[in-house]
Structure 1
Amino acid sequence: MNMLTEAQIQYIRERVRQEGINRTDLEHDILDHLCCLIEAEMEGGGNFEDAFEKVFEDFAPTGGLKRIQVEVNYISLKKTIIMKKFAVIAESLVMILFFVTTLLQGIRLLNQYAWPFIAELAFVNQYAMCLFILPRYWLHHYRMAVRESGESMSLAITRFAFIIGFLCTESFVNAVFFKMMHMPGGDQLFIITAILGMIYVPFYCVRKYRVAV
C-alpha cells in the first residue's frame, strides 16, 4: 500500500485549513479520511497530485469542507443545548428534593414523627447537592466572574476566592445536614463556614463594586 510522506500529509493539512476548517478535532478527522482515500486512489499507480485532486473534488467540492464544519457546529450546539437543559432539569429536581427533605426533617423534629426512608432520602439528596449542584453552580459563576473582571483582578485571586466560596457553601450545607441528622461535627462545620465566609465576603463585595463602577 502506498503510504503518504510527511510533506504530502502537511500539504493536505494546509489545504484543509485553507477551506476554512478551524476546529482541531474536525481537522484531524477530515485529514485522516482524506489520507486514506488518497492512498487507496494511488494503489492503481497514480501519482499523489492527481489522486489528491480527484479525492478532494469528490469528497468536498467548492466550499464543501466549510459546509461540513457548519453542520458539525450545528449538531454540537444542539447537543450542548440538550445537555444544558438536562442539567437544569436535574438540578431543579435535586433542589426541590432538598427542600422537601428539609421540610420533612423539620416536621419530624417538631412532632417526633419518623417518616419512612427519610434518612436515606436525606443522604441521597445531600450527596447530589454537594457533588453535583454546588460544584456546577460555583464553576458557572467563576467563569462569569473571569469574563466580568477582565484585568481588574488577577486570575489567581479570583480562582482562590471562588474556591473559598465553594468550600464555604459546602461546609454550610453539610453543617446544617449534620445538625438535622444529629451527627457529630455540625458545630465545627459552622465554625469553618464562618471563617471561610469572612474570607470570601470581602472579595465578593470588592468584585461587585468594581464591576458596578
Structure 2
Amino acid sequence: MYRISDEQVEYILDDIRRGGIETEDLQLNLLDHICCIIERELEPGADFERFYRHTLRRFYKSQLREIEEETARSLTFKNYYSMKKLMLMSGALSTASLIAGSIFKIQHWPGAGVLLALGIASFSLLFLPLLAILKAREVAHTRDRIVLTLACLLGIVFSMATLFTIMHWPGASALWFTAIGISAFVLLPVYFFTGIRRPETKLNTMLISILLVGFTGLQFTLMNTRPGKTQAQIRIQAYLQSEALLHSIQPSAMSPTAAYIDATCEQIKTLALEHAASDPATLLREGRPGDQFIHDGTGVRLIRSLRDSVAAYDRGYGAEILPIRNTVLDGDPTQIGYVYTNVSLLQAVSQLQLYLATAEGRKLATAAK
C-alpha cells in the first residue's frame, strides 16, 4: 500500500485550487478522495505525478472547475435534476404527440385533434418554461436572461396561436398579432442591442436578427390586417340567410318521402349545431362537426340514409330534382367530418332543403291548378 507524504498532500491541494475549486469543503472532500485512491491503487515506487494526473481526470470531463459549478448549481437549485428530467420527458412527449397527431390528421384518423393539442400544450406550457428556467441558471448576464425569457414567451404565444388556429378556437388572430408584436417590437430590439455591443457575439447577433426579421415578416404577410368580416363570418351569414329563405318558402304539406328527407336534414343540422352553439344567430362559431360525422357515427348514417332517400325521390320524378353530384351527398360519407366544417355542412344541408321546398311548392302549385 502506498503511503502519501505531507508534501504530496500540499501539492494536490494547491493543484486543486489552481484548477478552479474555490469552496473549501469541496477542496478538502476532493483531496480526501484523491488521496484515498492514490494510497489504495498506486504501487510503491511508481510515478506519483503521472498517476495523480490520471486519477484527477476521473472527476471531470473537460475542466476541474466543472465540479465547482455543478456543486454550486446543486446547492442553489436543489430541484435542478428533477426539472431537467421533467423537461426532457415533456420535450419527448410533445414531439411524439405532434408527430403522431400530424400523421393522424393526414390519414384522417380519429384523435388527431387531441394528439396535436396535447403536443402543443405540453411543448408550450411545460417544456419551454422549464427550458427557460434551466438555461437562465447557466447564463451569467442579466440581459441574457431577459432575452431568454422573451424568447420563451414568444414561443409560448406562437404555439398557442398555432393550437387555436388548428382547433378553430376564437382568439387565434389576436394571438398571432401578439406573437408578431413581441417578436418585432420587444424581442428583436432587446436581442439586437444587447448582443451587438459584445465583439464575440456581434456577428451571430446580426445573423439571427436578420432571420427574426425574415420570419416575422413572413408571418405578418399571412395575417389579415384589415378589420372586417372573416371568411367564417361570411359563411355563417350565408347559412343564416339560407335558413331564413327556407322558412319563408317551406310548403305547408309534403309528400311522405319529402317529409322524411326534410326530417333527416333537420337531424343532421342538430348534430352539427351541437359543436357550434345553441343560438346560431348570435353564438354560432365555425369548427369541426365532431366525431358523429366520421367512420360509422350517427351523422354518417344519417348522410347515407339521406342520399338513399334523395335518390328515391328523384326516381319518382324520373329526373334529378334534388342534386346529389357536387353536394354533401357526393363522396365518402365517412369523411364528412374532415372535409366539412359545421357551418359549411349546415349550409350544404340547408341548400338541399331549399331544393326540396322549391320542388314540393311547385308540385302543390301544379296540383292547385
Considering fraction of residues, name the structure with more helix. Answer: 1
Structure with bigger RCO (C-alpha 8 Å, 6+ apart)? 1
Instruction: Give the alignment's TM-score, normalised by structure 2.
Output: 0.32
Instruction: Give the alignment's TM-score, normalised by structure 1.
Output: 0.49
